[in-house]
Amino acid sequence: MSTTATRYDLPEADAFSRPYWDAAADGRLLIRRCRADGCGAAHHYPREFCPRCWSEDVVWEAASGRATLYTWSVVHRNDLPPFGGRVPYTAAVVDLAEGPRMMTEIVDCPEAELRIGMELLVHFRDVGGDGPAVPVFRPAAGAS
């Protein structure tokens, strides 16, 4: 599988982010939570320090997987593999129930049915092989 062409949709796991991708493989979305006094902020994507107060006392926390749609853009053209074979797709920014805002993709929802604030649930796309499971979101009403 290492001879495949370069792909631009697969994140690189390093020692820091490995727990995140291991959880994703199990179908769980992790966020980071600051434990500093007076802060307690949750954030995403994962960073080694709190983006609000710069504390390094930050731990992993399982997110509920619930989110609401903040904004989106339907992408009709992307020349980077493998996106070219996947257009159109819906790139989106969602607000996780825990607070952090996350860049992702909406699946299983026609463009005409997208609404700001609509309820979403996380879903993990299996990219096959040894690739990581990538979190995407779909309408909560249609989720099982």
**Both tokens assigned to 106:** 């909406």
Q: What separation in angstroms does the CA of 130 have from each of 2, 10, 57, 118, 126? A: 10, 11, 32, 33, 10
Give the nearest distance from C-beta 48 to Zn ion in angstroms.
12
Nearer to Zn ion, 44 or 123 (CB): 44
Give the nearest distance from C-beta 36 to Zn ion in angstroms.
5
Assess 49 for contact with Zn ion (CB under 5 A): no
Residues numbered 67 to 126 that lie near Zn ion (CB under 5 A) are none
**Both tokens assigned to 77:** 């053209």
Nearer to Zn ion, 58 or 92 (CB): 58
Give the nearest distance from C-beta 47 to Zn ion in angstroms.
11
Separation between Cα atoms, residue 11 and residue 25, nearest integer Å: 13
Assess 39 for contact with Zn ion (CB under 5 A): yes
Task: List the one residue out of 89, 95, 96 whose CA is nearest residue 64.
Answer: 96
Task: Decide if 37 contacts 111 (C-beta within 8 A).
Answer: no
Task: Tell me the per-residue interface mask from 19 to 38 with Zn ion, x by CB under 5 A, - otherwise.
Answer: ---------------x-x--
Binding site for Zn ion (CB under 5 A): 34, 36, 39, 41, 50, 52-53, 55
